[in-house]
């Protein structure tokens, strides 16, 4: 049986980019809310109803507060990455370079996320205490471009912030 094709990889990256966009812009919640309103009201003309509803009572993006880490201190201590910053930066650079194959100085965030999903060892070998937090932090990084490209500096800053708190959540 043949392995994944280039088309499969491109499809996975596109899917990841769409998912990140939908999460960051709250598209899923917005569509859910407007669908709920249509189903509750059962209008004869759903399109006109939605247009009026959007003007009259627009969807408000929910404000999300970060979940507090209420684990006991001794439990949190088990999940701290206490290695020196230089060591963590070197490991982050190795990870970044795996995705910057053309040595351009930037990578596509979605490609990196897909790579983490396909090869769990990338994070397990370098940051075993933060295997779920690193992808989450990467999704939250502001890439500044629609293409979702990030530089090593942007990646390292975001990941070092993630590594500064206990993992394992």
Q: How confident is the model at residue 2 (pLDDT cuts 50, 70, 90)?
A: low
Contact partners, residue 162, CB within 8 Å, separation at least 6: 130, 133, 134, 136, 137
CB 107 within 8 A of CB 96: yes
| pLDDT single digits (tens) 100-149 | 999 999 998 889 999 998 899 999 999 999 999 999 899 888 877 666 88
- CA–CA dist 82, 88 (Å, integer): 9
Containing 70, the helix (H) or strand (E) segment is: none
* φ, ψ dihedrals at 106, nearest 5°: -145, 155
> How many whole angstroms from its chain centre is CA 161?
15
Higher pLDDT, 144 or 160: 160
- CA–CA dist 59, 33 (Å, integer): 7
From 3-7, 41-45, 124-128, 165-169, the region with the lowest mean pLDDT: 3-7
DSSP code at position 105: S
At 64 the pLDDT is 65
| pLDDT single digits (tens) 16-69 | 788 877 777 788 888 888 898 899 999 999 999 999 999 998 988 777 677 788
CB 98 within 8 A of CB 122: yes
Q: What is the 3-state secondary structure (H, E, C) of 29-42?
A: HHHHHHHHHHHHHC
pTM of the model: 0.70
Q: How confident is the model at residue 13 (pLDDT cuts 50, 70, 90)?
A: confident
């Amino acid at each position: 049986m043949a392995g994944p094709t280039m088309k499969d990889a491109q499809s996975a990256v596109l899917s990841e980019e769409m998912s990140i966009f939908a999460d960051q812009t709250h598209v899923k919640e917005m569509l859910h809310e407007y669908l709920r309103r249509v189903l509750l009201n059962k209008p004869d003309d759903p399109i006109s109803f939605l247009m009026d509803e959007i003007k009259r009572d627009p969807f408000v993006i929910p404000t999300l507060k970060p979940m507090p880490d209420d684990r006991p201190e001794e439990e949190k201590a088990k999940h701290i990455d206490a290695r020196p910053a230089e060591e963590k930066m070197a490991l982050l650079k190795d990870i970044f370079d795996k995705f910057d194959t053309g040595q351009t100085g930037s990578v596509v965030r979605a490609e990196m996320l897909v790579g983490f999903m396909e090869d769990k060892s990338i994070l397990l070998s370098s940051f075993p205490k933060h295997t779920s937090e690193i992808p989450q932090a990467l999704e939250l990084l502001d890439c500044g471009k629609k293409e979702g490209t990030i530089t090593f500096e942007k990646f390292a800053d975001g990941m070092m912030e993630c590594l500064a708190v206990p993992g394992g959540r």
